[in-house]
């Protein structure tokens, strides 16, 4: 049980990749803080699954772009858990991976970039600022940020989304350099297309098949495929790894 007694905050954990990550930590004995924005029923269902798997779970509603809401979440974690060992920044602004209806560059207003920057970078900044005092209490604390392989391989040009994720990687590397002397590691997991999720529901089957044909492992990632690498980067097995981007896309990106 790699995370027995350890407290892990997973943002955007009421569905999709976040829910899979929360369940994976719970299966390893973790105490999972299931963050969500509006869907309380879905978050409670994930928390119930976490308990069934042998972990503990606490649901906390918070818009991760709101400093006030995230500060309140940090206070609740401090009061109810008394510690925080890892943060997984998984929440992001709503997006649809629909290549047929995507906005081309000349159709994309700057405001669209701003929405994605808020969802990726501002949210991660806000959570890290609020959780840092709790993380500093722990030896070997870890932050894992969810990026995208579109930064390294823009197979489809989702301009606003991929640009914000590129900024998130830059933010994460600077954070790793700054927090390393404090004993806190910061890394990114960069999945390719993950199916099924709400974001990939609009991706046509023929596009998925094209990606599969280009992928050395010949399939699309599932949410569970992303969870394993997140646990690795959050755990003791990666204790000398920081500032890295781990691509989880079946070999589409090799670096």
Residue 254 included in any domain: no
pLDDT score at 50:
98
Residue 1 included in any domain: no
- Classify strands 7-10 and 56-61 as parallel, antiparallel or unpaired: unpaired
pLDDT score at 84:
97
Report the distance separating Cα 143 and Cα 180, nearest Å: 11
Q: Is 90 exceeded by the pLDDT of residue 94?
A: no
Residue 2 included in any domain: no
Number of domains observed in the structure of the chain:
1
Model confidence, pTM: 0.96
Record the tokens describing residue 199, joined without a space: 């974001």
Residue 255 included in any domain: no
Residue 181 included in any domain: yes
pLDDT score at 128:
98
Q: Is 90 exceeded by the pLDDT of residue 255?
A: no
- Classify strands 31-36 and 142-146 as parallel, antiparallel or unpaired: unpaired
Residue 62 included in any domain: yes
CATH of the domain at 21: 3.40.50.720
Q: What sign does the CA torsion over 37, 42, 45, 51 have?
A: negative
Q: What sign does the CA torsion over 27, 28, 31, 33 have?
A: negative
Tell me the residue range of the domain where 52 lies.
7-248
Q: Where are the beta strands (DSSP E) in the chain?
A: 7-10, 31-36, 56-61, 86-89, 142-146, 185-191, 245-248
Tens digit of pLDDT for each residue in 113-170?
999 999 999 999 999 999 999 999 988 999 999 999 999 999 899 999 999 999 999 9
Tens digit of pLDDT for each residue in 15-48?
999 999 999 999 999 999 999 999 999 999 999 9
125 catalytic? Reply is no
**13 burial class (0-12, 13-18, 19+ CB within 10 angstroms)?**
buried
Side-chain half-sphere of 209: how many Cα atoms within 13 Å?
3
Location of structure tokens 């997973």:
10
Q: What sign does the CA torsion over 130, 131, 137, 142 have?
A: negative
Residue 253 included in any domain: no
Choosing from 36, 95, 161, 195, the catalytic residue is: 161
pLDDT score at 139:
83
Task: Identify whether the C-beta of residue 188 lies closer than 8 Å to the C-beta of residue 136.
Answer: no
Residue 164 included in any domain: yes
């Amino acid at each position: 049980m790699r995370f027995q007694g350890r407290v892990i905050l997973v943002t955007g954990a009421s569905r999709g990749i976040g829910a899979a990550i929360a369940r994976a930590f719970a299966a390893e004995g973790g105490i999972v803080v299931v963050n969500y924005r509006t869907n309380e029923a879905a978050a409670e269902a994930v928390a119930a699954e976490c308990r069934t798997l042998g972990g503990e779970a606490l649901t906390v509603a918070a818009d991760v772009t709101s400093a006030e809401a995230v500060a309140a979440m940090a206070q609740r974690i401090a009061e109810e858990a008394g510690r925080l060992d890892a943060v997984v920044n998984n929440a992001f602004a709503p997006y649809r991976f629909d290549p047929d209806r995507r906005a081309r560059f000349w159709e994309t207003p700057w405001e669209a970039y701003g929405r994605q920057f808020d969802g990726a970078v501002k949210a991660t900044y806000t959570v890290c600022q609020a959780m840092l005092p709790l993380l500093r209490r722990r030896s070997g604390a870890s932050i894992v940020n969810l990026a995208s392989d579109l930064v390294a391989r823009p197979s489809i040009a989702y301009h606003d989304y991929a640009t914000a994720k590129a900024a998130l990687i830059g933010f994460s590397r600077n954070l790793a350099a700054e927090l390393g002397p404090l004993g806190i590691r910061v890394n990114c997991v960069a999945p390719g297309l993950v199916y099924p999720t709400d974001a990939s529901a609009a991706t046509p089957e023929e596009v998925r098949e094209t990606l599969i044909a280009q992928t050395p492992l010949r399939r699309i990632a599932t949410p569970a495929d992303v969870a394993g690498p997140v646990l690795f980067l959050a755990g003791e097995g990666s204790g000398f790894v920081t500032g890295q981007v781990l691509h989880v896309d079946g070999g589409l990106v090799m670096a």
